[in-house]
Structures are given as structure tokens and as C-alpha cells.
């Protein structure tokens, strides 16, 4: 848990620094940095996604995960949570959409992906914190620009990091020894595909924003898919 706490604190610190620099950063500069980060996120997502060794696993996981996510209205839940936090700190003057966008975008970026999954698993199973610590530095730098561009909502993503990565780390301590390397690889690949969706939304690609929050359950479907696929293959 110590590595997750460090990750959360660094994101909070980076966000506060970004808020302090907000008035000194022009809109043009913020837009340019957001686009640049969007491209970087796209590359990170592609790198993770192409590591898949079973494309069908990714397709099934994303399809079923998104179906469940839409049924549970996960994307709406994230939006409502962002709005609730905005009202809690009474920042009506900054606009709800900006707060929600900052909170949801930063939370998805910091919580989804190979480093979050692999880092949490390594921390829980072998107490190796190097991956999460490296991720923490990247997240801190990203949070500075994100907070300057998207506002205080980014700071509250530190809570999402704490609960999400903390939960994964605790679960990994119990379940980690039972997860094979192929399962972890496919979980990371699905996470990479979702990160690509985040990048598309940031860059404004497509006519409508993707409900990437609703895709999150798909990350965990390889845990079920790969053993089931292996069993079916052994039968036929």
C-alpha cells in the first residue's frame, strides 16, 4: 500500500502545482499540452494493446465488459461522482463540465493501463514497488499539466488512485499467485485498448465521446476467458 499512497500524494502535489500555475499558462499552451499528452497516451495505449497474444480475448473482454458497464451505468456514475465533488467544494464558477472532465479523464488515465495493473500485482505478490514508483513520477508530471488545463477535478483523481490501486494491491496479495502471466498480459492489453479510447476523447476524435468508463469491467474478463478457452480447447 505504501507505493499506492506515494502515487496518490504525488498526483495531489502535481495537481496543486498545476492549479498554482494555471493563471500563468495560456489557453493556447494548455490546449497544445493537452493534445501532446493525448498523443502520448495514445502511444502508451497502443504499446500495451499490441502485447496481446489472443486478439479474440480482447474483443470478447471489451464487448462483455462494455455491456456490463453500460448496464450498470458506470460512465454516468463517474460523471455523477465528479458533479457531487464539484458541488461539495462549491466551485460553481469553474463549471461542472470542466471538473467532471478533469476528474474522470485523470482517474481513467492514472488507474487504467499496464503499469497500474502490473505495478499493483507486483506490489501485492512480491512487494516490488518499482513499477508503481516509476508510474508515480509520470503521473505527477502529467497531473501538473492536466490540472492547469482541466482544473481541480484532477486533484480528486488521487482518491481514485488510492482506492483502485490499493484494492488491486490487496487483492493481488491473495489472488496474485493464482494469476498466470498470460492472464496478466491480456488484462494489460485490454487496459491499453481502453487507454486508446481515453486518448481519442482527449484529442476530440470521432463525432461522440466514447463511454470509456463503461469499458472498465472488461479488464477483468481475461481472468475468466483464458481458463475457459483452455478448457474448451482441451475438450475439442
pLDDT tens, residue by residue, 191-224 = 888 888 888 887 888 778 888 888 888 888 998 9
Q: Which of 124, 114, 78 is nearest to 187 (CA)?
A: 114
What is the grid cell recorded at 146?
Answer: 492536466
Global confidence as pTM = 0.73
How crowded is the C-beta side of 118, counted as CA atoms within 13 Å?
Answer: 18
Q: Give per-residue pLDDT as tens, 12-41.
A: 999 999 888 877 777 787 678 778 878 887
Q: In terms of C-beta distances under 8 Å and separation of at least 24 residues, what long-range contacts does 172-179 make, across chains too?
A: 172/120, 172/121, 172/123, 172/124, 172/125, 173/124, 173/125, 174/124, 176/121, 176/124, 176/125, 177/125, 179/121, 179/223
pLDDT at 235: 86
Distance CA 209, CA 57 (A): 24
Distance CA 103, CA 157 (A): 6
If you average pLDDT over residues 146-151, what whole number do you get?
Answer: 82
Distance CA 115, CA 45 (A): 11
pLDDT at 68: 94
If you average pLDDT over residues 96-104, what whole number do you get?
Answer: 73
Amino acid at each position: 500500500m505504501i507505493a499506492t499512497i506515494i502515487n496518490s500524494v504525488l498526483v495531489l502535489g502535481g495537481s496543486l502545482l498545476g492549479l498554482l500555475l494555471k493563471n500563468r499558462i495560456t489557453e493556447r499552451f494548455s490546449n497544445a499540452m493537452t493534445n501532446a499528452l493525448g498523443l502520448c497516451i495514445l502511444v502508451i495505449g497502443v504499446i500495451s494493446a499490441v502485447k496481446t497474444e489472443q486478439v479474440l480475448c480482447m474483443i470478447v473482454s471489451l464487448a462483455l465488459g462494455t455491456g456490463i458497464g453500460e448496464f450498470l451505468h458506470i460512465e454516468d456514475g463517474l460523471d455523477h461522482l465528479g458533479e457531487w465533488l464539484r458541488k461539495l467544494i462549491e466551485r460553481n464558477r469553474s463549471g461542472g463540465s470542466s471538473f467532471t472532465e478533469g476528474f474522470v479523464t485523470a482517474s481513467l488515465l492514472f488507474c487504467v493501463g499496464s503499469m497500474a495493473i502490473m505495478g499493483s500485482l507486483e506490489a501485492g505478490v512480491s512487494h516490488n514497488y518499482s513499477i508503481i514508483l516509476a508510474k508515480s513520477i509520470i503521473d505527477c508530471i502529467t497531473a501538473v499539466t492536466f490540472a492547469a488545463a482541466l482544473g481541480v477535478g484532477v486533484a480528486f483523481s488521487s482518491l481514485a488512485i488510492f482506492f483502485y490501486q490499493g484494492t488491486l494491491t490487496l487483492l493481488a496479495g491473495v489472488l496474485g499467485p493464482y494469476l498466470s502471466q498470460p492472464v496478466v498480459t491480456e488484462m494489460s492489453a485490454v487496459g491499453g485498448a481502453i487507454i486508446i479510447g481515453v486518448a481519442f476523447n482527449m484529442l476530440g476524435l470521432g463525432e461522440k465521446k466514447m463511454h470509456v468508463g463503461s469499458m472498465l469491467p472488461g479488464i477483468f474478463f481475461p481472468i475468466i476467458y483464458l481458463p475457459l478457452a483452455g478448457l474448451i480447447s482441451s475438450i475439442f
